[in-house]
Structure 1
Amino acid sequence: MVLILDLQRATHATLHRLAAHLGDLGLPPSELNALANLGERPGGASTVSELATAIGGRPTTLTGILDRLQQRGLLAREPHPRDRRTVIVRLTPDGVDAAERVLAAMRELERRALADLPPDAADSAAAVLRALSQ
């Protein structure tokens, strides 16, 4: 067993289920992931670097995702108040609504996936995921 492969397969399947469930948003998994991560942050805002770290990507890769979300009116870019080199991305009101839908869909998918497992199994899985994220 290679746990990393199982994790990759589960991530791929989960993101595609979410994209299908939220098909009316017309967003690919990468954009759903960015919205969900922004939706969990205070004020729906983050620096590009912080968001890239949260989604496990590079800022340069994230730029295209953010461009598309901005074109759809789901986020706005603004200068950092203390660092001219840093850009903050912030969810717009439509972006907040979309992020809330994505997070609700994630919670429901998680609830259904874990429904038949003992509670300690979910806690153990969460511990493994945290360890792999370090």
Structure 2
Amino acid sequence: MDTEDHQTVDVLVRLAFVILARLQAHAAATDLSTQQVRLLGILRDSEPTIKELAAQMGTDKSSMSGAVMRAERRGLVSRAPDERDRRAVRVRLEPAGRNLVGAATRQFEVEIGELFESLTERQQALWRDFTLRMLVADAADRCVDL
């Protein structure tokens, strides 16, 4: 690795820590863990199985089952049988979970948006495109659907 590669990695890690710190603060304000915030975020747009959730979040099925169970106890999510595979269950967002993640997302988007204020709209679009390419490549490497 040359110096430029090290700088790229350093910048990426620093940005990850900045975003994670802000995410943790928002999660704490809603009495959620960052894992639960991510879980609710995924469920906004889909009703995956526990196995699919585990793959998307990079964890095992047992840990994901526990996270879903904790969210279910709070009335944030529910489970329903998978219509195509009776052995599997689908996890869906309940209204309380949708309200919670909606409010948290709006606040988080404002705060993260502040990070991008120094960039032009074109630079922001390029950043989104490049980042999405990296995320898609990573998901493909892990055999995960985005």
- Give the TM-score normalised by the residue count of structure 2: 0.73
Distance, in Å, in 2 between the alignment partners of 1:21 and 1:105 is: 8
Residue 39 of structure 1 and its aligned partner are, at CA, apart by 1.2
Please tell me the residue identity of whatever aligns with 1:31.
Answer: Q
CA contact (8 A) 1:38 1:51 kept: no
Match of 1:15 in 2: 20
Distance, in Å, in 2 between the alignment partners of 1:35 and 1:4 is: 29
Residue 51 of structure 1 and its aligned partner are, at CA, apart by 1.7
Q: 1:40 to 1:4 in 2, by over 3 A?
A: farther
Query: Could you report, residue by residue, the CA deviation over 1:35-87 in whole angstroms, capped at 9, with x for unpaired residues?
Result: 1111132xxx2211222222222222211111110111101112112322101
Matching of residues 1-134 of structure 1 within 5 Å: 1=6, 7=12, 10-41=15-46, 45-117=47-119, 118-119=123-124, 120-134=126-140
Tell me the matched-pair count.
Answer: 131
Please tell me the residue identity of whatever aligns with 1:14.
Answer: I
Unaligned regions of 5+ residues in structure 1, if any? none
Unaligned regions of 5+ residues in structure 2, if any? 1-5, 141-146
Structure 1 segments (4+ residues) deviating >6 Å: none
Query: Could you report, residue by residue, the CA deviation over 1:2-43 in whole angstroms, capped at 9, with x for unpaired residues?
Result: 8667656544542331231343310011111111111132xx
Q: For the aligned residues, what is the CA RMSD?
A: 2.5
Please tell me the residue identity of whatever aligns with 1:125.
Answer: T
What is the percent sequence identity of the aligned residues? 27
SS in 1 for 2:80: strand
CA contact (8 A) 2:77 2:94 kept: yes
Larger radius of gyration: 2
Q: 1:67 to 1:8 in 2, by over 3 A?
A: farther
Distance, in Å, in 1 between the alignment partners of 2:56 and 2:10 is: 20
